[in-house]
Amino acid sequence: METLFTTIEEARRWASLFLKKHHREERVADWLLEHHLDMNYTGLLVYGRDPFPEDKRKLFIKDVEQHAETGIPVQHLTGWAEFYGRRFTVNADVLVPRPETEELVEGVLQLLNHTSRSNLLNIVDLGTGSGAIACTLAIEAENVEVHATDISAEALRLAGQNAENLGAEVIFHQGDFLSPVASLEFDIIVSNPPYISYAEQEELSETVSQFDPHLALFAEDEGLAAYRTIARQIKQSASSPKLIAFEIGHQQGEAVRAIMEEELPVYHIEIRADINGKPRMIFAIAEN
């Protein structure tokens, strides 16, 4: 085989160009280099002229080629995704946690930390996937009991593993959103449910549509079905939460507001934008 590169710098250049030619994101080159060389970004720059370690060459090239050819997410190649500064193990059974979901967690934490209290708060994360939201809240928030549900047994297995690895105390339940815990009383309900409409399937990148589980992505009723199900489940449950926080698709703000106003009229609904200025969260706060 021809020598594609000798130094780390040359490996970066080779991989970026190769990915570009295949219409993939060039920065994936850096992420894979960081993973294989166990370095951070600064390391790649500082040690750029060092020879690329021979024993890592084959696997690195294989990962670059596989991503270029199939669009497999980098996180599936490395086996982990970073969320709120921690590593979560991921695989094909769970959605790769997204940066916008970190903002949802941040919003919940801000509200939690603004209320001075001595009482324990009960939180539930519906559709927990990798466990990213539930584990982060369990670690970051003081004096809380965190539950999490998912309909997927495979996802729950991985989420349980993540909780254990991170030392997060989370109680997991299998079932349809709130239903397995309908008899418990929650102060905060948080969820990033599936919200993509089936009509949008064609527009998704391969990295999403071919690799994230469809159970995590798609919902009926133009992507709105889960919000209505959850709102109705809350209405019929033992809970009257102070806060319901949802991640939403950027065009769903008004539609989710309407669902909430219809099903749970005692809440004040706030549509919140993410760091890019797009409406990506709904915070429903109990009026009293």
Q: By CB under 6 A, name the binding residues for ligand SAM.
A: 94-95, 97, 101, 127-130, 132-133, 149-152, 155, 176-177, 192-194, 215-216
Residue 196 contact partner, candidates ligand SAM, ligand GLN, none, CB within 5 to 8 A by sort of partner: ligand GLN
Q: Which does 73 bind (CB under 5 to 8 A by kind): ligand SAM, ligand GLN, none?
A: none
DSSP the chain: -----SBHHHHHHHHHHHHHHTT--TTHHHHHHHHHHT--HHHHHHTTTSBPPHHHHHHHHHHHHHHHHH---HHHHHSEEEETTEEEE--TTSPPP-HHHHHHHHHHHHHHHHS---S-EEEEEES-TTTHHHHHHHHHSSSEEEEEEES-HHHHHHHHHHHHHHT--EEEEESSTTGGGTTS--SEEEE----B-GGGGGGS-HHHHTTS-HHHHB-TTTTTHHHHHHHHHHHHSS---SEEEEE--TT-HHHHHHHHHHH-TTEEEEEEE-TTS-EEEEEEEE--
Q: What are phi and psi of 93, to 5 degrees?
A: -85, -10
- Residue selected from 122, 192, 197, 207 as contacting ligand GLN according to rule CB under 6 A: 192
Q: Indicate the residue among 64 and 217 with the shorter CB distance to ligand SAM.
A: 217
The smaller minimum CB distance to ligand GLN, of residues 11 and 132, is found at 132
Q: What minimum distance in Å lies between the beta carbon of 136 and ligand SAM?
A: 10
Q: Cβ closer to ligand SAM: 127 or 241? A: 127
**Is there binding between residue 195 and ligand GLN (CB under 6 A)?**
yes
Select from ligand SAM, ligand GLN, none the partner in contact with residue 56, using the beta carbon and a kind-dependent cut-off of 5 to 8 Å: none
State the minimum distance, in angstroms, from the CB of residue 126 to ligand GLN: 11
Smallest distance from the beta carbon of 79 to ligand SAM, in angstroms?
Answer: 16
181 near ligand GLN (CB under 6 A):
no
Q: Give whichever of 44 and 178 is closer to ligand SAM, judged by the CB atom.
A: 178
* Residue 192 assigned ligand-binding role: yes
Residue 153 neighbours by CB under 8 Å, 6+ apart: 174
Site for ligand GLN in 67-106 (CB under 6 A): 95, 98
Q: Is 194 known as a binding-site position?
A: yes
For ligand GLN, the binding residues in 205-244 under the rule CB under 6 A are: 208, 217
Counting contacts by CB under 6 A, is residue 278 touching ligand GLN? Answer: no
Interface residues with ligand GLN (CB under 6 A) are 95, 98, 192, 194-196, 208, 217, 247
- Residues in the annotated binding site: 127-131, 150, 177, 192-195
